[in-house]
Structure 1
Amino acid sequence: MFPQRSNNYERLEGGMGPNRMGARRFGWKKFAIGAVVIIGLVWVFGPRKEDLVPEKYIPSIIRPGDSEVVTGPPTGPPEPPARPPARPTEDDDDDIVPAPHASRPTDPASDPDPSKTVYCSTPYKPDQPLVQYALMIDAGSTGSRIHIYKFHNCRPSPTFEYEVFKVTKPGLSSYKDSPLEAAESLDVLLDEAVRVVPASLQSCTPVAVKATAGLRLLGVEESAEILEAVRRRLQDYYPFSLQGVDDVVIMDGKDEGVYAWITANYLLNTIRDDTPSGTETYAVLDLGGASTQIVFEPRFDSLKPDSTLEEGEHKYELTFGGKTHVLYQHSFLGYGLMQARLSVHRLVEFMGTMRGTPSGPDVKIGNPCLAKGTSRLVEIDDERHSEKWNVTMVGEDIGSFEACNRVVELVMAKDAICEVKPCSFNGIYQPSLMETFPSGNILLLSYFYDRLQPFLATINPVPPLHVSTFASLAEQVCEGKPSWEKNWGSRELMEELEGRPEWCLDLTFMHALLRLGYELASERQVEIGKQIEGTELGWCLGATLAMVGAEIKCRV
C-alpha cells in the first residue's frame, strides 16, 4: 500500500524541490535516500507501457528473415477493465486504446464480455450500437467458410476487433442436383455463429452468403435454385438478419478481387483514415480453385501524355478511409488452380491421342506435370462432346519442370489477340507491373500460400521469397522422391508430396502465372499470407466492412 504523500513528496514529484518554509535544513543525504525510495516505489507499482497501449499487429505474412509464422499475441483471460475510457472526440479517435489493464481481445475466449468492448463504454454516435457483429459466408468452389466478425463503434466508422472462422466441405456447387442439401451443408457454419454471437445481438446481426467461381460455372437455373434454398433456410431456421437483394448472391469477380485488396490493405494499415499520406498500397494476387484475381493501384508517369489507366470494367474507383484509390482489377475465370489442373490434363490427354495413344477409359498417359515415379487417376471432361472418362496419368521418367512448363504455357494463352495493349495473358488488358508498380509490395494469397508454406516450414529462418522461388521448388518437386528426400527431411512434407502428385503441376502453374502471365521479373520479391493477427485474408472482411458501414436492418 502506498504511504500517504506529504507536501514535500508532491513538490519533489513536480520538480519544484522540497518545501523549506518553517522546516529544518533539509540534509542532502536524507534527500538522496528519500529520492531512491520514491523512485523504487514508482518503478515497482507504477503503470507499465503494455498496460496503456494496444499490442501491435503481428501479421502471419511470411517475409524475408521470418523464422516462423506468427498468428498473433498469446491470448488468455484478460483482467476486466478498471475504468472504461470516455468516448473519443473527432480529433483523438485514432488513439483509441483498451482501458487500462485490459488486453485487446483476439477471440471470444479472451473477450471479457462479447456483447461489449474494452475500447469505450458508449458509441461514437448515439444512434449506433456499441458492438456490432456481422456474418459473411464465402461459398467457394471447394468449400464454404463462415467469417464471424466483431466490430465496435467507438470511432466514426465501425472498427474491426476480431474474427471467428470455420470451414466445411464440399462447396455448394457439389450439390448441383440437390438444392436442399446444399443449403443444409451450411448448418454447421451457422450453428457456430449462433454459439459465438450474443443472443441479444443476433436479430441485428447481418448475414450474407456470397458464392464465387464454383457456382458461376454451374448453369443459371441450377445456381439460382441453390441460392434460393439457402435464403429460405436462413429465414426459416436462423435468427440473423438478411439485408436485401445482394445478401445471397453470386458475387461479381471484380468485387471479389477488390474486397480482397481492401481486406489486406486495411489489416496492413495502408488505407485507414490514420494511414500516413503517401503510404504505398499492396498489390493483391489471389489464387482460388476456379478463378484468380489481381488488384493493384498503378502509378502512371504524368509527363507521358498516353500514360493513364484505360477506361473499362477493369477500372475500379474506391473511396476508403477518406481517400480515393484508382485500382486495376481483373478476375480470370477458369484460371484458378483446380481449373488449371483440369485444363492441363485435358491438353495432355489430347496431345496423347495426337501421338496415337488410344482415347477412352483406363488408359495410361505420360504426363510431364506429375512428379517422376508418381501417378494419378484423372477424370477427363470433354465439354465439346459431353463425355467423361478416367485416365491414369503417370509421371514415369518424363516428369520435369521444363516439360510441364511448356504445357502450362499453352494453357496460359499468352499469344491470344490483345485488342487493348498491353495485355497480361488470354488477351486481357493490364498495365505493366514493371512500369506502373515497379517497387510496391506484392502479397500472394490462398493457394499461393497453401502450396509454398509446407516447404518454408522446414527452413529457419525463411529466406527472401521471389518469383523464382516457385520455379526452384517446382524443379526439385518434379524430380520425384529421391529429390524430395535430398532436399527436405520432413516426414509430413514427404506424405503431402506422395499424396499430391500434382504438386509439380501446381508450382509450375503458379510460376507461369507470375512470370509469364503477369510478367513479373524472376527476382521480384513477393510475400505470402493467410492471416494477419488471426484474421483470414481474402475478400470477406472487405465485403463485410462495406456491409456494416451501411444502414443495418434488424430482424423483427
Structure 2
Amino acid sequence: MFSPRSSNYERLENGMGPSRMNGIRRFGWKKFAIGAVVVIGLVWVFGPRKEDIIPEKYIPSFPKSPFGGSDLEESAARPPPMPTHPTIDPPHGDDDEIAPPAQPRPTSPATDPDMSKTVYCTRPYRPDQPIVQYALMIDAGSTGSRIHIYKFNNCGASPVYEYEVFKQTNPGLSSYAGRPLEAAQSLDVLLDEAVTVVPQALRSCTPVAVKATAGLRLLGQAESEEILDAVRHRLHEKYPFSLQNRDDVVIMDGKDEGVFAWITANYLLDTIRASTPANTPTYAVLDLGGASTQIVFEPIFASDRPDSTLAEGEHKYELVFGGRTHVLYQHSYLGYGLMRARKSVHRLIDFMSSLQPPLSDGTVANPCLAKGTSRTVEVEEERLNETRSVTMTGADVGSFEACNRVVQLVMAKDAVCEVKPCSFNGVYQPSLLDTFPNGKVLLLSYFYDRLQPLLPDSRSPPPITVSTLAGLAEELCQGPSAWEARWGGDAALMFELEDRPEWCLDMTFMHALLRLGYEFGDDRVVEIGKQIDGTELGWCLGATIAMVGAELTCKI
C-alpha cells in the first residue's frame, strides 16, 4: 500500500522520507465486565452531583450563528463553506520555485482562464513533462465518499499545487456490505465530476487513487476486499484515468491518515515548505472521523528532563519535508470516531439499564440524549453478532454531567499504561502540557461540523477554548427550551438540533476527548477549519503530493 514513508516524497519539497519504529497497540473493548462495579457505576452516573455543575465562566455567551459546515452523517450533506471561526491565516505565498503569476491566481475552474495551462509559466521545468498535472484522490470514509480533484503545475523542479475541486456523496462504501458492485457504482457521481473537470488530453495521464479509511477497516477483510476489487474493476473499465498500481485502491493505515492530515494542514499554512523560515512552529492536527480519530503533533522536549526524547514505537515518525526533519508523534484511535463513540455509549447505557427495573413505557433512559428528546437506536450485540432496536429517551435525566461520566467509562482513561505517560485507553503519548504547551491546535472534520454551526458569525469572534465545548454541551443537553433561548432565530440549526438528539452526546464526547483524553487545559485555545484558500483540510492533499511526485504511467 502507499505510505507517507514512500520514497516518492523525496521528489517533492527538497526531499521527504519519513520512517517509523516498531511496536503496535490495537484498540480493544475490554471493559464493561463486572456487574457489581457497574451497579456502583449506575449510582455514580445517574446520581445528582451539585459540585459537578459547570462554573458560569465555562458557559459561552455567543450571539446567533448562521448554519454552516458539512455533515456527511445520515442524509444531511451540504456544500462545504469556508471556515468562519476562527479565521486561519492563508499561506504567506507560493513556493519560491516559481515566479508570481502574470495573471490573477486561479482558485477554481471558474477563475482559471485555461484548465490545460497555468498562469505561473509558459513552459514546464522539464521538456518531458506536461505544463500542468491533475491528480484524483477519493477519500472513502465511513460516512461518505469525497473526491478531491487537484491541479498542479510543473513550472519548477517539483510539482506545485494550485487548487482543488471537491465533491462528496453519501453513504460510504462500508454501507454496501455484501453488494460490491453497488459500492463501486456509488463512486460514479464523483468520477463523472472528474471527467468534466480534467481536460480530455490530460485524462489518460491523470493518476487516481481510492483510499478507504476506518469504515472499511471495521467491515472485515473478506467483504472489504470484495468492494475494493469491484472499485478497481470499474475504474479500469469505465473511466479514462490511470491506476498506477494495485495499491492505489486500498484501505489506508490509520497512522498514515493522521500524518497525511498533518502534512496537508501545515503545507497550506506555510509552516513546512522549503521557503518557510527555520524554527517556524507547526500546528498540532486533531482529526475526528466517523470511525476513528487521529492526533499528530511535533513535541518539543526539554533536554534537562529524564524523558527528554520521544519513546520508540509505531507512534514515532521522522519526517523530512522542505529540507527539514520533523519528529512527529501520531496515533490513530480506531473505534473512537464520533459515530463509533455513539454506538459504544448507547451499548453501555443499554447494558446498564438491564441491571435495573425498566421504565413503564419500555424505553431506556439515556443521559446523553437531550432532555425531552428520544431516539430509536441500533444496539450491537457483539457476542451474538446481532443488532436490535432500542428506544432511548432523554426524559429528565439528560445532562452534560451524567453523560460525561458515561463517556469517561467508554474512553477507558484508567486503562493500564505500559509506557508512560498515556492519553487514554492505555496509549502512550508525551504530555501536551510539557512538550506542546503553546503550540497552535487545529481541529478537523466532525470537530468543525459540530462546532461551527453553534458559533457566532462575526469578524472578531471570541476564541474557542476547551471550556467552550463544555459550555455548549451543557446547553445542548438541556433540550429544546435551552436551544430556543440561544439559537431560536436560526431555523436551519434548530431543525438540525431537533432532528438529532445526539448533539448532547457528540459535544460531550468531543470535550472529553480534548480535556480528559489528551489532557488539554480548560483555557487551551483551539482552532477549527475545513478549508484554507478553497482547499479541503484532511489527509488527501498530503497523500496526493507524493502521488504526483512518482513516475506516472499513462493509461493506454
Question: What is the 5 A alignment of 1:138-217?
Answer: 138-217=139-218
Of structures 1 and 2, the one scoring higher in RCO (CA 8 A, sep 6+) is 2
> Equivalent residue of 1:266, what SS?
helix
Query: Do 2:148 and 2:164's aligned partners in 1 also have CA atoms closer than 8 Å?
Result: yes
Q: Which moved more, 1:507-516 or 1:127-136?
A: 127-136
What amino acid sits opposite 2:135 in the alignment?
Answer: A
What amino acid sits opposite 2:100 in the alignment?
Answer: V
State the Cα deviation string for residues 273-332 of structure 1 (Å, max 9, x = none).
Answer: 100111000000000000000000011112334310011100011111111111100000
Query: Do 1:301 and 1:307's aligned partners in 2 also have CA atoms closer than 8 Å?
Result: yes
> Equivalent residue of 1:209, what SS?
strand
Query: Do 2:299 and 2:328's aligned partners in 1 also have CA atoms closer than 8 Å?
Result: yes
Shift of 1:62: 4.7
What amino acid sits opposite 1:335 in the alignment?
Answer: Y
State the Cα deviation string for residues 528-550 of structure 1 (Å, max 9, x = none).
Answer: 00000111000000000011111
Shift of 1:370: 0.6
Shift of 1:457: 4.3
Q: Which runs of 4+ in 1 moved over 4 A?
A: 59-64, 69-72, 457-460
What residue is the counterpart of 1:98 in the other structure? Answer: 101
CA distance in 2, matches of 1:306, 1:295: 19
What amino acid sits opposite 1:97 in the alignment?
Answer: P
Shift of 1:522: 0.6
What residue is the counterpart of 1:538 in the other structure? Answer: 538
Shift of 1:126: 2.6
Query: Do 2:84 and 2:457's aligned partners in 1 also have CA atoms closer than 8 Å?
Result: no
What residue is the counterpart of 1:416 in the other structure? Answer: 415
Query: Do 1:60 and 1:71's aligned partners in 2 also have CA atoms closer than 8 Å?
Result: no
CA distance in 2, matches of 1:107, 1:499: 34
What amino acid sits opposite 1:524 in the alignment?
Answer: R
Taking structure 1 as reference, are residues 493 and 71 closer, same or farther at Cα in structure 2, changes over 3 Å only? farther
What residue is the counterpart of 2:554 in the other structure? Answer: 554
What amino acid sits opposite 1:220 in the alignment?
Answer: Q
Query: Do 1:141 and 1:289's aligned partners in 2 also have CA atoms closer than 8 Å?
Result: yes
CA distance in 2, matches of 1:181, 1:196: 24
CA distance in 1, matches of 2:411, 2:256: 23
What amino acid sits opposite 1:509 in the alignment?
Answer: F
> Equivalent residue of 2:245, what SS?
coil
What amino acid sits opposite 1:508 in the alignment?
Answer: T
> Equivalent residue of 1:354, what SS?
coil
Query: Do 2:262 and 2:296's aligned partners in 1 also have CA atoms closer than 8 Å?
Result: yes
CA distance in 1, matches of 2:104, 2:183: 40
CA distance in 2, matches of 1:344, 1:97: 53
What amino acid sits opposite 1:303 in the alignment?
Answer: D
Gap regions ≥5 residues in structure 1: 1-58, 73-87
Taking structure 1 as reference, are residues 322 and 127 closer, same or farther at Cα in structure 2, changes over 3 Å only? farther
CA distance in 1, matches of 2:433, 2:174: 38
What residue is the counterpart of 2:400 in the other structure? Answer: 401
What amino acid sits opposite 1:293 in the alignment?
Answer: Q
Shift of 1:125: 2.4
Question: What is the 5 A alignment of 1:126-525?
Answer: 126-357=127-358, 363-457=362-456, 461-488=460-487, 489-525=489-525
What amino acid sits opposite 2:348 in the alignment?
Answer: L
Query: Do 2:90 and 2:268's aligned partners in 1 also have CA atoms closer than 8 Å?
Result: no
State the Cα deviation string for residues 32-82 of structure 1 (Å, max 9, x = none).
Answer: xxxxxxxxxxxxxxxxxxxxxxxxxxx945555x6xx9999xxxxxxxxxx
CA distance in 2, matches of 1:61, 1:482: 28
Shift of 1:270: 0.4
> Equivalent residue of 1:242, what SS?
coil
TM-score, normalised on structure 1? 0.83
What amino acid sits opposite 1:369 in the alignment?
Answer: C
Query: Do 2:85 and 2:452's aligned partners in 1 also have CA atoms closer than 8 Å?
Result: no
What residue is the counterpart of 2:26 in the other structure? Answer: none
Query: Do 1:363 and 1:390's aligned partners in 2 also have CA atoms closer than 8 Å?
Result: no
What amino acid sits opposite 2:509 in the alignment?
Answer: F
> Equivalent residue of 1:246, what SS?
helix
Shift of 1:456: 1.2
What residue is the counterpart of 2:10 in the other structure? Answer: none
CA distance in 2, matches of 1:494, 1:244: 47
Gap regions ≥5 residues in structure 2: 1-80
Shift of 1:526: 0.2
What amino acid sits opposite 2:253 in the alignment?
Answer: D
Taking structure 1 as reference, are residues 521 and 62 closer, same or farther at Cα in structure 2, changes over 3 Å only? farther
State the Cα deviation string for residues 421-440 of structure 1 (Å, max 9, x = none).
Answer: 00000000001111000000
Shift of 1:374: 0.5
> Equivalent residue of 2:464, what SS?
coil
Query: Do 2:98 and 2:156's aligned partners in 1 also have CA atoms closer than 8 Å?
Result: no
Query: Do 1:210 and 1:250's aligned partners in 2 also have CA atoms closer than 8 Å?
Result: yes
> Equivalent residue of 1:487, what SS?
helix
Taking structure 1 as reference, are residues 468 and 382 closer, same or farther at Cα in structure 2, changes over 3 Å only? same
CA distance in 2, matches of 1:94, 1:191: 33
What amino acid sits opposite 1:201 in the alignment?
Answer: L
Shift of 1:377: 0.7
What amino acid sits opposite 2:410 in the alignment?
Answer: V
Shift of 1:375: 0.5
Structure possessing the higher radius of gyration over alpha carbons:
1
- Could you tell me the percent identity over the aligned residues? 72
State the Cα deviation string for residues 226-272 of structure 1 (Å, max 9, x = none).
Answer: 00010000111111001113200000000000000000000000011
CA distance in 2, matches of 1:457, 1:208: 38
TM-score, normalised on structure 2? 0.83
What amino acid sits opposite 2:99 in the alignment?
Answer: I
What amino acid sits opposite 1:372 in the alignment?
Answer: K
> Equivalent residue of 1:161, what SS?
strand
> Equivalent residue of 2:363, what SS?
strand
What amino acid sits opposite 2:540 in the alignment?
Answer: C
Shift of 1:441: 0.3
> Equivalent residue of 2:377, what SS?
strand
State the Cα deviation string for residues 322-347 of structure 1 (Å, max 9, x = none).
Answer: 11111100000000000000000001
Query: Do 1:367 and 1:399's aligned partners in 2 also have CA atoms closer than 8 Å?
Result: yes
Shift of 1:387: 2.4
Query: Do 2:483 and 2:494's aligned partners in 1 also have CA atoms closer than 8 Å?
Result: yes
CA distance in 1, matches of 2:368, 2:359: 20
Taking structure 1 as reference, are residues 459 and 375 closer, same or farther at Cα in structure 2, changes over 3 Å only? farther
What residue is the counterpart of 1:6 in the other structure? Answer: none
Query: Do 1:458 and 1:490's aligned partners in 2 also have CA atoms closer than 8 Å?
Result: no
> Equivalent residue of 2:525, what SS?
coil
What amino acid sits opposite 1:313 in the alignment?
Answer: E
Q: Which moved more, 1:383-392 or 1:373-382?
A: 383-392
Equivalent residues, number: 473
State the Cα deviation string for residues 104-136 of structure 1 (Å, max 9, x = none).
Answer: 111111111100000001112233221000000
What amino acid sits opposite 1:96 in the alignment?
Answer: A
Query: Do 2:85 and 2:455's aligned partners in 1 also have CA atoms closer than 8 Å?
Result: no
CA distance in 2, matches of 1:392, 1:459: 40
CA distance in 1, matches of 2:362, 2:459: 44
Query: Do 1:137 and 1:210's aligned partners in 2 also have CA atoms closer than 8 Å?
Result: yes
Taking structure 1 as reference, are residues 70 and 312 closer, same or farther at Cα in structure 2, changes over 3 Å only? closer
> Equivalent residue of 1:526, what SS?
strand
State the Cα deviation string for residues 354-392 of structure 1 (Å, max 9, x = none).
Answer: 113389xx9411101011101111111111122221111
